[in-house]
Amino acid sequence: MMAFIALTTLQKGVVWKILQRLGLASTRCFSKHQLARAGQNFSDYESIHREYKPEVPEFFNFAKDVVDKWAEAEMGGRRPSNPALWWVSEEGDQVQWSFVEMALASKKAARVLSEQCGLQKGDRVILILPRIPEWWLLNVACIRTGTILIPGTTQLTEKDLLYRLKASKARCIITDHILAPTVEAVASKCPSLECKLIVSQEHREGWLHFNDLLKRAPAEHSCTATKSHEPMAIYFTSGSTGTPKMTEHSHGSHGLGLGVNGKYWLDLTPLDVMWNTSDTGWAKSAWSSVFAPWIQGACVFVHSMPRFEPKPVLETLSRFPVTTFCSPPTAYRMLVHHNLSSYKFHSLKHCLSAGEPMNPEVMEEWKEETGLDIYEGYGQTETVLVCGTFKGMRIKPGSMGKPSPAYDTQIIDEDGNILPPGREGDIAIRIKPNRPFCLFTQYADDPERTASTMRGSFYVTGDRGMRDEEGYFWFIGRADDVINSAGYRIGPFEVESALIEHPSVVESAVVSSPDPVRGEVVKAFVVLAPDYASHNPEALIKELQDHVKKVTAPYKYPRKVEFVPHLPKTISGKIKRNELRKKEWGKL
């Protein structure tokens, strides 16, 4: 196991002595009366839109203006004694860092990046680490130095890594001993790569050793001046519809803009403990594991589990005071089949989901077993929260909720006209006359791809949807995923939701398939539950088709069904329907 710097260079006593020398130490803490006053950040959905009036300063830096400010609040007794980061290993080891510790450690790390790695403002840095405290530390350190952070998942193959290094023209890569050999295998093909920094107990030839350098680094650092509109991070998209795009966000768009997620959707305060199960390397980690909770001064809870498994997740929710839990629908589907009634979640009060549409039956089962609703959120790597269900709103299972105050979100036609309720169209965000500050700035180094997302006065998300009479938005599918069969437009999600209600179905993916009469028809790729593997295939197909006809419009039933052992997925776990669709249409 790694030797974490929290246990070697930032012992609480050492930090306290530094604070005393600086005249910043305080023993004042929150009283029980103050803690009891914590509550919801808003009264109702309408109040969110009334009060949301963000101010975007000319200069903004998340490290200085958020992390350091909360550190000052801690030292002055204006924040409770919750940690800023609470990390738990598979073996049960724990690391807790306050904002004071994070601020001091990230200044030391920033000195390493600037002085030892030679990085300057605007340089691109790929950061690939598992769920360890150093990942959070280096996020903040990169922001301090003005370098452009590019998170990557630990599951990258050699091909994936080579693509990202070459596309991004990164000057530096930071990773651990596990991925280091893969980096070495491709480094010679990446002329821009000048520095390799390893976070590990191991020393490796040709690599700078982060832990050693951090111990020797001074604790003082002058934060690089960054303007709100300047680039802060690049996130590679999941690649569910093609080559991953490099989505660029500014210091303002994520470092400040994700406050709408933290305050209104996650509904966090400094008293909350937020656990988001998304892996490092994806924009969802930025959403709910870094920016949104820390803007609100909440504690980020992290479990180092290498993969999502129901039992340890449920045990963790029972054991630790997690108040706010966010996980994708796939995870909730696993959890509801794991004897939920045997667990007690004493602190949990708010459950959320994002990443793909949630099946209504999963929401209902979770509510029945835990007494808690699941609040859905919809957004993209390119955005902050676009739509969501917020506390106080009536939840419509299967709906994405209503627009967040961050954007003017509409359903538009192919000419950019706003469609009335009940009409299917493209989900779009108004960008004229004023572009929202919390929208991505561009697809880095790809102006044509950036321009292709614009239609008239709108940024087009690439997703299809519909708005009902009450203002709720409903997801139909990616624009490329919608099936046009004999004049009927069919979204895959509704068919997949119907299929998963059948006990034989573990998961499914629905795509178009060529048909000589209808042009294309609905085809379902189905992963069966083990108990149904020996059933007569033809009889089971008929049973599934009849089932879909009963629970949704009959014309949507899958005329073709294929049983498969697993579905192709992106590294982030999203189903690659485009791959299945190409296979059906003979393009693979």
Q: Show the domain range for 180.
A: 5-24+54-293
Ranges of beta strands (E only) in 472-518 are: 473-478, 483-485, 488-490, 505-515
Quote the tokens at residue 330: 């796939």
Mean pLDDT of the chain: 90
Name the domain boundary from 293, 317, 336.
293
Task: Decide which of 293, 311, 343 is a domain's last residue.
Answer: 293
Q: How far apart are the first and last CA of the chain?
A: 43
pLDDT at 481: 81
Beta strand 231-236 pairing with 246-250: antiparallel
In a domain, 451, yes or no: no
Any domain includes 173: yes
Q: Give the whole-angstrom CA distance, residue 96 versus residue 299.
A: 10
pLDDT digits (tens, 9 = 90+) for 102-132: 999 999 999 999 999 999 999 999 999 999 9
90 within domain boundaries: yes
Q: Are strands 385-388 and 402-403 parallel, antiparallel or unpaired?
A: antiparallel
Half-sphere exposure of 38 (CA within 13 A, CB side): 20
Number of domains in the chain: 2
Beta-carbon neighbour count of residue 137 at 10 Å? 27
Closest CA to 240 of 522, 583, 569: 569
Asked whether residue 336 is domain-assigned, the answer is no
Neighbours of 293 (CB within 10 A): 28
Distance CA 300, CA 186 (A): 34
Q: Of 293, 321, 340, which marks where a domain is finished?
A: 293
Q: Is residue 304 part of a domain?
A: no
The Cα–Cα gap between 573 and 18 comes to 44
The answer to whether 402 and 278 are in contact (CB under 8 A) is: no
Distance separating alpha carbons of residues 56 and 437, to the nearest angstrom: 8
Query: What's the rounded Cα separation, in Å, for the pair 492 and 172?
Result: 41
Residue 399 placed within a domain: no
Strand 458-467 and strand 473-478: pairing? antiparallel
- CATH at residue 75: 3.40.50.12780
Closest C-alpha to 153, from 357, 381, 383, 358: 381
Q: For the CA atoms of 252, 258, 262, 263, what is the dihedral angle to 10 degrees? A: 60
In this structure, which amino acid lies at residue 96?
Q
What percentage of the chain reaches a pLDDT higher than 90?
75
Alpha-carbon distance of 73 to 28, in angstroms, equals: 11
Q: Work out the number of other CB atoms within 10 angstroms of the CB of residue 39.
A: 9
Q: List, for the chain, all residue ranges whose pLDDT scores fall below the cut of 50.
A: 1-38, 588
577 in any annotated domain = yes
What are 88's strand-pairing partners?
A: 94, 303
Q: For 417, which DSSP code?
A: P
Q: What is the DSSP string of 202-230?
A: S--TT-EEHHHHHHHS-S---PPP-BTTS
Distance of CA 153 to the CA centre of its chain: 12
Predicted confidence at residue 429, as pLDDT, reads: 99
CATH code assigned at 487 = 3.30.300.30
Q: What is the pLDDT of residue 21?
A: 35
Element of type H or E holding 88? strand 85-88
